[in-house]
Structure 1
Amino acid sequence: MSLRVAIVGGGPAGIYAADILTKSEADVSVDILERLPAPFGLVRYGVAPDHPRIKEIVKALQRVLAKPEVRFLGNIDFGVDVKLEDLREFYDAVIVATGAMADRDLGIPGEELSFGAADFVSWYDAHPDVPQTWPLQAKSVAVVGVGNVALDVARVLAKTGDEMLVTDIPAHVHEGLKAKTITDVHVFARRGPAYAKFSPLELRELNHSPNVEVIVHPEGFDVDEHGMAHIAKHKAQKMVLDTLANWVGRDPVGKPHRIHLHFCEAPTEILGDQNGVTALRTERTHSPNADGNVEGTGEFTDWEVQQVYRAIGYRSSALPGLPFDDRAAVIPNDEGRVLDLDGAPIPGTYVTGWIKRGPVGLIGHTKSDAAQTVAHLLEETTATAPSRDATDVDAYFADRGVEVATYDYWERLDQHEIALGEAQDRLRVKVATREEMLAAGR
């Protein structure tokens, strides 16, 4: 008898799990349940729109969704439209792959005055569940973090709105970016340049805009013996360091917007009041030993900025009916088997992706993660669900008045967005509201 598997989450982690399941020797059918009317998760709603190469991964993911053994069921809110116990009626196993969309906290005074990078990314990526306006009336802003998301945020804040018009951004995002008054974006790293988490390609692209100058400040740009030992083990970070070193002390060329990179500066407080931010206070740091951790030196600087963005990592959120480790922000698991509060595996319940291991690694790392989870599922799962036909699932949602956005919906929405783009000599223009997405899908 064919195994029936539900995957909650239609991003790369969930789609890779579906791919591995359907490529196995087992007879498996998979339904991917996604909260949004469109698939692809962070590839669609977490990658900066001026990174079309990264979005090429959509083509590979789309091939998986087109498989006859895989069904995409979008516009389904887990915990609202369907519960875990309901899924047990129709599926022999459930894999949770909901990723991470919240922002980690800095844990400093005044943090409530800051913005989360994930929220800003959702806005400029036209996520259908966020407001269509964003406050960009500032001259100088601070971005805290040295990962690729921090670079994305800094680059989008610094670029002109018209530069972004070659991408898939809809009109409201273009208008918001065009109206911004930002001239300087300051990016702060707690540690030295040897420990920057940027990918080499992302960093080099920072310097490609005709309107944006990248300034690497020499203060704090120190690489001690511990830093040299670190980059000797990490080829990508050596490439990053080489690029940064070439930029230190460059003569300015007078571009209208600037991105400043500051190393060994740890945020300690955001200054301001209900009227807004006035400054970010940082403390100069140094690394006393080889573990890469830093200590404060007691030397503080107040940077005059009017906005602060936290880009120190994403955080997963708890799901109804499932255990959650709030400290680690993951679903407790043993190699993908979900564990109950006593540490025992919950039968037929699995997890993969960032909600399994935390928000680390690039999109491609989710493949090996999914393979580990799927191996345990196939080893342990038997056909036990009482209602085994796909039509039973369809009837369940129809009875509850849920409009399911199927793969056919996505194909029509996809063609609609491409047509909108062709009318403006662009590859695509993204549809920005849930209602419009569903209407295009119909």
Structure 2
Amino acid sequence: MSRPVRVAIVGSGPAGIYAADALLKSDAATDPGVSIDVFERLPAPFGLIRYGVAPDHPRIKGIVTALHQVLDKPQVRFFGNVDYPRDLALEDLHRFYDAVVFATGAEADRDLAIPGAELDGAYGAAEFVSWYDGHPEVPRSWPLEARQVAVLGVGNVALDVARILAKSADELLPTEIPANVYDGLAANRAVEVHVFGRRGPAQAKFSPMELRELDHSPTIEVIVDPEDIDYDEGSIATRRANKQADMVAATLENWAIRDAGDRPHRIHLHFFESPVEILGADGRVVGLRTERTELDGTGNTRGTGAFREWDVQAVYRAVGYRSDELPKLPFDSLSATVPHEAGRVVENGVHLPSTYVTGWVKRGPIGLIGHTKGDANETVACLVEDHRAGRLRLAEAPAEDAVVAFLDGAGVDYTTWEGWHRLDDHERALGQEQGRDRVKVVEREAMLRASGSALTPHEDRPRTRAPRED
């Protein structure tokens, strides 16, 4: 094939951009070359980094700099505000591209199968994260009337949710949060946040740095019950084999033996408490029932039959993310992933030609952002191998202007990489007016206007995911 290999990547978060980077560094990039189009449902790129990382974590958001450099490459084009499959179906993608890589991530909350999960005041952590990160597809307000709040889960998302609920709005004002988020947090009534894990300190999934940052706020007192510091042989083996687990456990031990201070807001980290029911009255959350657990010698736990009720008025489940099913692709509903072999999509034991996955929709929502690079490298290696072996189903209309003509003809109001630069400049200008680095634009129409897209109002266009009711 004398022309460049045409590749579409669906999703512009770290997974999709790392896949583009791997393609640019592959053998195919030199002979015959690659031409990559990245499609994103939202008007702006960067996915999880823009809409899944807490605003008070600028260190993590700094990853955007590296991602930005990839999208700046001349072999890469960005098309935002383009939905799969409404604007581009699978057959369209295969008509314009030799290969398609799906990197759509995971945005939905996993369910928690306990009674009371449907009550008003029981929320998914992902919903809350999307709100405070200014996601254009969620409501502009969030109910924050609860004074005591429970967060279920002992991962970094649980820490983020607890910290944002416990911090004062003024502490977050120097970040990029938009005005509606600041106003909502300023009215937040929470003074106590209880974080629950069913296992012990050695099994917590916090990263050491994220955990230590919890104690840096001048308004938050972090409290650990000394009775929750317990290890069995399996826990000790975990600490010896995993430096991060050992650092987390050591931090928790230090917090357990110190005297509590007088900071106005408190985060209680509870271990060996398994949530069994969210309690309600008149359709609203009024409490949480947990069962005390104990270690069984292997690092796992068993119930003791001792129950406790906690006075809380809101419950956030941070028990993991879940990928949405992708139309026209196979889907494993149990793992919420697309079946694959090393990134090649597999249906009924057969590889779907020219169709690949990477990131959380491939492996599930586990690991840190950096782990996504390994996923991308594996998937791209398979794509390049299939190209070399002549196994790709070549595009019928591979010219770069063919997909542009298709989108224009369909009236899709897409944004471009140049449009992102305009939106980026606009957000930075808004921040400069307030002495901040950036103020995030939230409304989709406002994002499109700032991007310079040739817009028409598209209230008549159905959303991929229905917004949550206020």
- Both structures adopt the same fold (TM-score exceeding 0.5): yes
The correspondence of residues 34-433 of structure 1 with structure 2, limited to 5 A, is 34-113=40-119, 114-290=122-298, 292-340=299-347, 342-381=348-387, 382=392, 384-433=394-443
Q: Which runs of 5+ in 1 are unaligned?
A: none
Rounded Cα–Cα distance in structure 1 between residues aligned with 2:190 and 2:178: 21
Asked if the contact 1:220–1:262 (Cα under 8 Å) also holds between the matched residues in 2, the reply is: yes
Rounded Cα–Cα distance in structure 1 between residues aligned with 2:332 and 2:283: 36
Match of 1:6 in 2: 8
Q: Which runs of 5+ in 2 are unaligned?
A: 453-470
Secondary structure of 2:286's aligned partner:
strand
Secondary structure of 1:82's aligned partner:
coil
Alpha-carbon distance, 1:225 to partner: 2.1
Between 1:221-230 and 1:365-374, the stretch displaced more is 221-230
Rounded Cα–Cα distance in structure 1 between residues aligned with 2:342 and 2:184: 44
Query: Does 1:32 pair with 2:34?
Result: no
Secondary structure of 1:326's aligned partner:
coil
Asked if the contact 2:168–2:185 (Cα under 8 Å) also holds between the matched residues in 1, the reply is: yes
Rounded Cα–Cα distance in structure 2 between residues aligned with 1:254 and 1:288: 37
Secondary structure of 1:43's aligned partner:
helix
Q: Report the AA paired with residue 327 of structure 1.
A: L
Write the deviation string for residues 347-388 of structure 1: whole angstroms up to 9, x where unpaired: 000000000000001001011110000001011134711111
Between 1:222-231 and 1:45-54, the stretch displaced more is 222-231
Write the deviation string for residues 307-346 of structure 1: whole angstroms up to 9, x where unpaired: 0000011111101111100001100001100011x12110
Alpha-carbon distance, 1:390 to partner: 1.3
Rounded Cα–Cα distance in structure 2 between residues aligned with 1:158 and 1:217: 19
Rounded Cα–Cα distance in structure 1 between residues aligned with 2:282 and 2:36: 50
Secondary structure of 1:129's aligned partner:
coil
Asked if the contact 1:221–1:264 (Cα under 8 Å) also holds between the matched residues in 2, the reply is: no
Q: Report the AA paired with residue 247 of structure 2.
A: M
Q: Report the AA paired with residue 207 of structure 1.
A: D
Alpha-carbon distance, 1:25 to partner: 2.0
Secondary structure of 1:285's aligned partner:
strand
Asked if the contact 1:219–1:262 (Cα under 8 Å) also holds between the matched residues in 2, the reply is: no
Write the deviation string for residues 160-203 of structure 1: whole angstroms up to 9, x where unpaired: 11111010000000000000111000000010001111000000
Asked if the contact 1:154–1:259 (Cα under 8 Å) also holds between the matched residues in 2, the reply is: yes
Count of residues paired in the alignment = 440
* Alignment RMSD: 0.9
Alpha-carbon distance, 1:274 to partner: 4.2
Asked if the contact 2:150–2:193 (Cα under 8 Å) also holds between the matched residues in 1, the reply is: yes
Rounded Cα–Cα distance in structure 1 between residues aligned with 2:117 and 2:230: 28
Q: Report the AA paired with residue 337 of structure 1.
A: R
Write the deviation string for residues 267-309 of structure 1: whole angstroms up to 9, x where unpaired: 000000444111110001112131x322100000000000000
Asked if the contact 2:353–2:393 (Cα under 8 Å) also holds between the matched residues in 1, the reply is: no
Rounded Cα–Cα distance in structure 2 between residues aligned with 1:39 and 1:273: 42
Rounded Cα–Cα distance in structure 2 between residues aligned with 1:367 and 1:275: 44
Identity over aligned pairs, percent: 61
Q: Report the AA paired with residue 297 of structure 1.
A: T
Rounded Cα–Cα distance in structure 1 between residues aligned with 2:261 and 2:226: 18
Asked if the contact 1:219–1:263 (Cα under 8 Å) also holds between the matched residues in 2, the reply is: no
Rounded Cα–Cα distance in structure 2 between residues aligned with 1:391 and 1:431: 30
Q: Report the AA paired with residue 42 of structure 1.
A: L
Alpha-carbon distance, 1:250 to partner: 2.1
Asked if the contact 1:103–1:314 (Cα under 8 Å) also holds between the matched residues in 2, the reply is: yes
Secondary structure of 2:228's aligned partner:
coil
Q: Report the AA paired with residue 303 of structure 1.
A: W
Asked if the contact 2:231–2:295 (Cα under 8 Å) also holds between the matched residues in 1, the reply is: no
Secondary structure of 2:303's aligned partner:
strand
